[in-house]
Structures are given as structure tokens and as C-alpha cells.
Amino acid sequence: MEELAINGGKPVRETKIYYGHQYIDQADVEAVSRVLVSEALTCGPKITELEEKLCSITGAKYAVAVSNGTAALHIACLAAGIGEGDEVITTPITFAASANCACYCGGKPVFADIDPKTYNIDPVEVEKKVTEHTKAVVAVDFTGQAVQLDELFSVCHKNGLLLIEDAAHSIGTKYKGRPIGSIADMTTFSFHPVKTVTGGEGGAVLTNSRELYEKLLLYRTHGITKNVSMMQNEIDGPWYYEMLDLGFNYRITDIQAALIISQLDKLSAFGRRRKEIVEKYNEAFREIPELFVQEEIPESDTIRHLYILRIRPEKLSVDRAGFFRAMEAENVCCNVHYIPVYFMPYYEKLGYQRGICPEAEKLYQEEMSLPLYYSLTDEDVDSVIHAVKKVVSAYRK
């Protein structure tokens, strides 16, 4: 058996590899450069172009581009009318922003447990958490796999809730053949550099509702409108605008918009490569009894943002932390997505206790994210598989 690098053996690869990385090509550089020497760095034509492109890719009627995915979630909750005392159901296996967005509006996140096979929020658990105070569900397409939209819609419609889909991981994914972005009441994207498509920072909210769209536009820019038909007081002159509600400056720049547009031209190529890598990992790990491979619902045609390696600690003489460190010594640097949101001290102080979502907590104890990004070479992928097999063999019970 090969000596583990953590015990002094030779690592499977010489250079370190990380779980995610952006891919920027010459077309991206030129797209950004053209904006830099143009008239408008912000509030210009690239933002409209990005919004139109997001609509054409997803089939959504309206898109509002914003400064980041968190801002997108915030204005989505505002547009949904979340306020003091309202409850918003979400998953604990997500980035904190999916829950924080309810808090920003004075609302309360309520955590529903995940399906132990797909790791996405379980619609049955969502239904159990509905109360008279529930206003919305923020469902996260964790790793890029679509949530069970039909089942979630049925819970939402029965109880008069809005469905907000946090699609930070799932741009390009389809549910029953329909692109993510065109289905939920509102869908949010993030264009952070670890996500499939990047703008450095950036985000967007997509919707088919004119009413929600108009609210989203207001909240993006201070609650200010220049639309004469929306004005409430007398129009003083051509300079006149009105602030109708308390909004924010959540605008994106034309520089970022240009980068995202250029990246979206590569979305199919990004998706194809990510699928290939996921297939290689799945094939290699399916036959290893010490591992569990994430299951997919047949409705989701997934472009994966994250690849979760889940160990079965009962079959190994090492826990997740030990496995993670052994991988790191092999120069394969993983990450963990996610620490359950309610484990965070901020949420503990609000009174959230451990134990409320046992499947999510179990997943957290057993998972790590392997390298997955467009520019991984086949040799990189082979080295990751080699490292996983090496560590499993060394700790097999």
C-alpha cells in the first residue's frame, strides 16, 4: 500500500489544487477593456444587455442585475413582502446569505431538513414547518441540482407562499427540460468567482411577474423611480424623480456586466466539462463501499457547481477532519459546504439549537468538496481520484 503523504509518503501530485477556480480568457479581458474606455462604467448599456441575455438563456420574462447574490436574495425577500415577524423556510446546508436575507427584512429563517440522498431541502420537511406566519420558501439548488420544484410549488400554493429559488449554484441546470430561472416566483443567481459564471462580484433576480419586477427595480436603486406613471407628487421639471420606498444601492457596474456576458457565452462549454468531471468522479467512487455518491432526481439535468465527496465514517478508521487533512497532504485541497447555518454563533444567540435538522448535521460530519471547475485537466481529475482511493485504502477498517 502507498504511504500517505500525511505520514511522510510522496503526495499524489506536486502542486496544490483547490476546490474551485474561475476561468478567464482573452474574450473576457477584451470585453472588460472595451467598457473601461467607453462612456458608461455604471448605469450603462451593458447592464440591460446582461439582463436581456439572462432572460434569453433562461426563458424568464424579467431580470434585474445587482451587485451580488446576497443583494439579489435581499431584494427578492423585500419584493416578496417579508417583514417583521414573517417566517421564511430554508435549508441549513447553504451559505449563510440564504437565511440572512430573511433577517435583513425583520423576518425569521426557519430551517427544514434535507433529503439524505440528494442533500436538497425535503419538501415534506418544508410542509411540516409551515405556520400561519410563513410567507416564503428560499429553496437552494445545492451543488447545482434543481430542488423538487413541483413538490415545493404544491406546498407553496396550498399555503399561499412565494417560492424563491437560490440558484447561486445552478445556472445552466434544467428542471424537466426547463432552464432554472424561468420556474420559481423569483430566482437568484450569484456571479462570485467560485460560481460557474463570474463577474468578479455580481448577482441577478429573475421573475415572470411584472409586479415583482417593478418592486425589484425600485429596491435595487434606493427606492427611486424616474417613471412618470409611478409618481405621486406634482412633477417639478425634467430633473424630477421620486423615492417611493426605502431601497438600496445594489447596482452592478457595466464592467462586471460585460464580464458576465462574455462568460455566459461559455456556459455550454463550462457545463459540458463540469458534467464530464462529475461523471469521472461518480464512476470512480460508485464502486467504493466507504463512499456515498450524491443521488440525482431524474427531473434535474444538472450542471454541477460543487462535487461532494461523502464518506461513511462507520467503515473507516478516520473521521471527516482526518480524511480532509490527509487529502490536503496529498496536495488536493478540499473545502466543506456547508457548516449548517444555525451552528453559527449569530444564530445560536437568536436561540437556534443543534439537533433541529439531523440529516443536515449528519451530512456536515461526513462531507467535503472536491476540486470541480472548467480548467481542471484529465490529469488533475485522475490525481484527485488517486488521492481519494489512496486515503480510503489507508483507513479502510
Binding string, residues 147-166; x marks residues near ligand PLP by CB under 6 A:
-------------------x
SS3 per residue for the chain: CCCCHHHCCCCCCCCCECCCCCCCCHHHHHHHHHHHCCCCCECCHHHHHHHHHHHHHHCCCEEEEECCHHHHHHHHHHHCCCCCCCEEEECCCCCCHHHHHHHHCCCEEEECCECCCCCCECHHHHHHHCCCCEEEEEEECHHHCCCCHHHHHHHHHHHCCEEEEECCCCCCCEECCEECCCCCCEEEEECCCCCCCCCCCCEEEEECCHHHHHHHHHHHECCEECCHHHCCCCCCCCCCCEECCCCCECCCEHHHHHHHHHHHCCHHHHHHHHHHHHHHHHHHHHCCCCEECCCCCCCEECCCCCEEEEECHHHECCCHHHHHHHHHHCCECCECCCCCHHHCHHHHHCCCCCCCCHHHHHHHHHEEEECCCCCCCHHHHHHHHHHHHHHHHHHEC
Contact call for residue 70 and ligand PLP (CB under 6 A): yes
Q: Is 49 left (phi over 0), alpha (psi -120 to 50) or beta?
A: alpha
| Identity of the residue, 168 or 257, whose beta carbon is nearer to ligand PLP in the bound complex | 168
Smallest separation, CB 322 to ligand PLP (Å): 26
Nearest distance from C-beta of residue 195 to ligand PLP, angstroms? 6
> Does position 340 bind ligand PLP by CB under 6 A?
no
User: Should residue 304 be labelled a site residue for ligand PLP when binding is judged by CB under 6 A?
Assistant: no
Q: Which is nearer to ligand PLP, 320 or 337 (CB)?
A: 337
Closest CB 94 distance from ligand PLP, rounded Å:
5
Asked if residue 68 binds ligand PLP (CB under 6 A), the reply is: yes
58 near ligand PLP, judged by CB under 6 A? no
Count interface residues toward ligand PLP (CB under 6 A).
14
- Residue 69 lies near ligand PLP (rule: CB under 6 A): yes
Q: Which of 35, 60, 102, 140 binds ligand PLP (CB under 6 A)?
A: 140
**Backbone angles phi and psi of 224, in degrees to 5:** -95, 140
| Residue 46 near ligand PLP by CB under 6 A | no
Q: Is 98 an interacting residue with respect to ligand PLP (CB under 6 A)?
A: yes
Name which position in 22, 58, 90, 94 contacts ligand PLP (CB under 6 A): 94
Residue among 107, 181, 203, 371 that touches ligand PLP (CB under 6 A): 203
| Among positions 93, 97, 171, 326, the unique one binding ligand PLP when judged by CB under 6 A | 97
Interface with ligand PLP, residue 90, by CB under 6 A: no
Nearest-approach distance from CB 95 to ligand PLP, in angstroms: 4
Q: Does 253 bind ligand PLP (CB under 6 A)?
A: no
Residue choice 74, 169, 174, 274 for contact with ligand PLP (CB under 6 A): 169
168 sits near ligand PLP (criterion: CB under 6 A)? yes
Nearest-CB residue for ligand PLP: 69
Q: Enumerate binding residues for ligand PLP (CB under 6 A).
A: 68-70, 94-95, 97-98, 140, 166, 168-169, 190, 192, 203
